Amino acid sequence: MNLEITPPRALKGITRVPGDKSISHRAAMLGALAEGETQIENFLMGADCLATVKCLESMGVTFTGPDENGRLTVHGRGPAGLKEPENVLDAGNSGTTMRLMLGILAGLPFFTVITGDASLRRRPMKRVTAPLSQMGARIWGRQEANLAPLAVQGGELQGGNFSLPVASAQVKSALLLAGLSARGETRVTEPAPSRDHTERMLQYFGAEISQKERTVWIKGGQVLGGRRVVVPGDISSAAFLLVAAAVVPGSDVTVREVGVNPTRDGILEVLRAMGADLEISNYHQLGGEPVADVRVRYSRLRGVTIGGELIPRLIDEIPILAVAGALGEGELVVRDAGELKVKESNRIATVVEELRKFGAEVEALDDGLRVQGGRPLTGALCASHGDHRIAMAMAVAGLAARGRTVIQDAGCVDVSFPGFAGILSSLRVD
Ligand code: S3P
């Protein structure tokens, strides 16, 4: 499927975005591990989260819905309610599904094989399989259990102390989920704070989990109870609309009930520093997560330099930030973001390749990007590289470029933001 974009006169309106991808995955998984019903409102019905649901269903977990109010129900029967699947589990394009499921599978007394699409089969899994093996799971795969397909023989695990070489919420979460079923305590220390949705949700589901500075720890053998979860709008999806409003002259867009968890809101901080006209209001809590309405009006942006601990707080927003940088004045520099190379695509390479097609001046760095703003962009024929965030970032570039832009193979947008094209159309003023 191709996505065709032409520049509008402006973008205006009030909208919502689909539920947060990270939180939706966790709600489905914790709901499956819990005893009793979990009702999830605003669950992201995108391909990634549906892959998580399918994996859990293959292990005997029952899901019903979504009902007419968009409520998905998980009928949890505790970890013992999960059974050995008869077939290979398919995580599709989803790193979160594979890494978090590995954490769960490690502690379950059966054999499983899990795989994914071509992109996921290239992504590094040793970062989870190595510590899970240390806890007692047996895991096999190419390159010493680095590449899927992975085969897991789970069983009794022993907690431990883990110091992560990269700030990764997926690795931290896999170890906490394994720790939930392990003997003793599992402690995870991160080099920089990554998103803490797993910690918040474990607590919300009744588990005791502690944190001091960069270390989080959990005692094994705790029982979770089903809950009602309301999933906030995904800030990583909202980011495309917020940047679009910031770069298309005359725009004024509000996105309602966006998750503004401080481990995820780096994009707001950086857009402000770039001179965006940003208004955040109506702060409140939704099931243990902070949300707010975010309004952006067009203004002239200027480049900034970012790196360090800010990076995990906006890691998924770097492709769209690069677009904002190309459309602003001055230079945008991103450092300390080598992790971009092992996302759904090598996002350093794909951002550079695609933005250059618009006439932007972009340079790949070993651990990030340099974007020189101030050049007018011209519509381009872009490839998505099968990466949902590359497809959407380039679509936004197309909104602010002269002429027509076509994003080829844009079906991947449904991985995280089903309805993206429809929402953009609804905001257009032509
Ligand atoms: C995610 C964590 C991040 C992020 C991904 C979702 C999560 O990955 O890029 O889109 O849900 O935990 P890493 O944990 O690998 O940095």
The CATH homologous superfamily for domain 21-230 is Enolpyruvate transferase domain (3.65.10.10)
Average pLDDT over residues 412-428: 98
Which of 23, 125, 168, 197 to mutate for ligand 1's pocket (most ligand atoms within 8 Å of CB)? 168
Q: What share of the chain in percent tops pLDDT 90?
A: 98
Give the closest residue (by CA) to ligand 1 atom 11.
22
Tell me the per-residue pLDDT of 306-335, one tens digit each, with 9 for 90 and over: 999 999 999 999 999 999 999 999 999 999
Phi–psi pair at 105, nearest 5 degrees: -60, -35
Task: Identify the three-state secondary structure at position 150.
Answer: strand
Task: Determine the average pLDDT of the residues in 37-50.
Answer: 97
* Helix H or strand E segment including 291: strand 289-297
**DSSP conformation letters of 73-129:** EEEEE-GGG----SS-EE-TT-HHHHHHHHHHHHTSSSEEEEE--TTGGGS--HHHH
| Residue recorded with tokens 């340099």 | 370
Q: How far is the CA of 181 from the centre of ligand 1 (A)?
A: 22
Quick one: residue 282, left, alpha or beta (phi over 0 = left, psi -120 to 50 = alpha)?
Answer: left
* Average predicted confidence (pLDDT) for the chain: 98
Among protein residues, the one with the nearest Cα to ligand 1's atom 10 is 316
Domain extent listing, the chain: 3-19+232-429, 21-230
Reading the block at residue 4, the tokens are 């065709």
Q: Report the percentage of the chain scoring pLDDT > 70.
A: 100
Tell me which residue has its CA closest to atom 4 in ligand 1.
316
Weakest-pLDDT range from 66-80, 194-208, 296-310, 339-353: 66-80
What's the gap in Å between 168 CA and the centre of ligand 1?
6
Rounded CA separation 258/16 (Å): 8
pLDDT at 69: 81
Predicted TM-score of the model (pTM): 0.98
Residue 287 above 90 pLDDT? no
pLDDT at 179: 98
203: left (phi over 0), alpha (psi -120 to 50) or beta: alpha
Query: Residue 379: is its pLDDT beyond 90?
Result: yes
Is the pLDDT reported for residue 68 higher than 90?
no
Same fold, 3-19+232-429 and 21-230: yes
pLDDT at 400: 98
Candidate CATH numbers 3.65.10.10, 3.40.50.12780, 3.40.50.10710, 3.40.30.10; the one for domain 3-19+232-429: 3.65.10.10
Residue 102 pLDDT = 99
The structure tokens listed for 61 are 């977990």
147 to each of 120, 141, 370, how far by Cα in Å?
8, 6, 31
- The strand pair at 305-306 and 331-334 is best described as parallel
List, by residue number, the catalytic residues: 316
| Position 118 pLDDT exceeds 90 | yes
CA of 171 to the centre of ligand 1 (A): 9
Pocket test for ligand 1, best of 315, 387, 388, 415 (most atoms within 8 A of CB): 315
| CA of 10 relative to ligand 1 center, distance in Å | 32
Residue nearest to atom 13 of ligand 1 (CA): 168
Runs of H (alpha helix) within 228-281: 235-247, 266-273
CA–centroid distance, 408 to ligand 1, in Å, is 25
SS3 category, 407: strand
pLDDT band at 70 (very low <50, low <70, confident <90, very high): confident
Question: Which 3 state secondary structure label does DSSP give 366?
Answer: coil
What single DSSP character describes residue 318? Answer: H
Residues with CB under 6 A from ligand 1: 22, 96, 168-170, 173, 194-195, 315-316, 339
